[in-house]
Amino acid sequence: SQTIHQWPATLVQPVGSPLSLECTVEGTSNPNLYWYRQAAGRGLQLLFYSIGIDQISSEVPQNLSASRPQDRQFILSSKKLLLSDSGFYLCAWKGGTWQRAFFGQGTRLTVV
Amino acid sequence: DQQVKQNSPSLSVQEGRISILNCDYTNSMFDYFLWYKKYPAEGPTFLISISSIKDKNEDGRFTVFLNKSAKHLSLHIVPSQPGDSAVYFCAASGLAGGYNKLIFGAGTRLAVHP
């Protein structure tokens, strides 16, 4: 069966520290992968999407980067976190339609 | 620039009554509108969708209505049950930049009380 794993669920990091959030998918190959972020009071904003290994597209300029070192692994990173990076981060996988997409449980990041 | 808006952050409804969750959008090029349900500590799960060429889609207790002229859609839950208590995200999909994007609203937290 197809599953998606995202961790950690919550994270508190000081300003200026690095970040690494990992998302892995099981039960499929060559998935389209997405990273979203929700800031307080706003919708889930698309940050990055990837259609294959080392193929990353960025939707908005920001302090974050994404990498896809393996087919079923998608990583969100930052070298130095800012207060404005706080939010809820969600990884998603779409193999066909959005009706059949899978979402991770999300990561609540608080930068202090 | 929020293309999908859910202006009510929360809604409280009595069990057995109707829950109506609203959503507005700005882009006429969206081809599908979807509703996702999210419980705490879980990822959103797909609930119901509607094509932009339809005005109504029904699935059991859930019905989604689309008013294209007003760029508005709503999700009706009848009758509401305590297990429906969750955050509901409205989303819209469409082609942009060569791939199929999904754009979410901010979510509405529904509480169904006995």
How is residue A81 annotated by DSSP? -
CA B81 to chain A, closest CA, distance in angstroms equals 23
**pLDDT at A59 (0 to 100):** 82
**CA pseudo-torsion sign A98, A85, A76, B95:** positive
Asked if pLDDT for residue A62 goes beyond 90, the answer is no
The residue of A25, A33, A44, A47 whose CB has the most chain B CBs within 10 angstroms, and thus the best one to mutate to test that interface, is A44
Mean pLDDT of A93-112: 90
Q: What count of CB pairs under 8 Å joins A to B?
A: 64
Q: What is the pLDDT of residues B66-108, one digit of tens each?
A: 999 999 999 999 999 999 999 999 999 987 666 778 889 999 9
Does the distance separating the beta carbons of A98 and B34 come in below 8 Å?
yes
Phi/psi of residue A83, nearest 5 degrees: -55, -35
Distances (CA, A) of A101 to A40, A72, B38, B92: 24, 15, 14, 13
Output the average pLDDT for chain A: 90
Question: Residues B56-75, buried b or exposed e (16+ Cβ, 10 A)?
Answer: eeeeeebbbbbeeeebebbb
Q: What is the pLDDT of residues B41-67, one digit of tens each?
A: 888 999 999 999 999 999 999 999 999
Please check whether residue B64 is in contact with residue B48, taking contact to mean a CB–CB distance below 8 angstroms. Answer: yes
Contacts of A104 in chain B (CB under 8 A): 43
Mean pLDDT of B25-40: 92
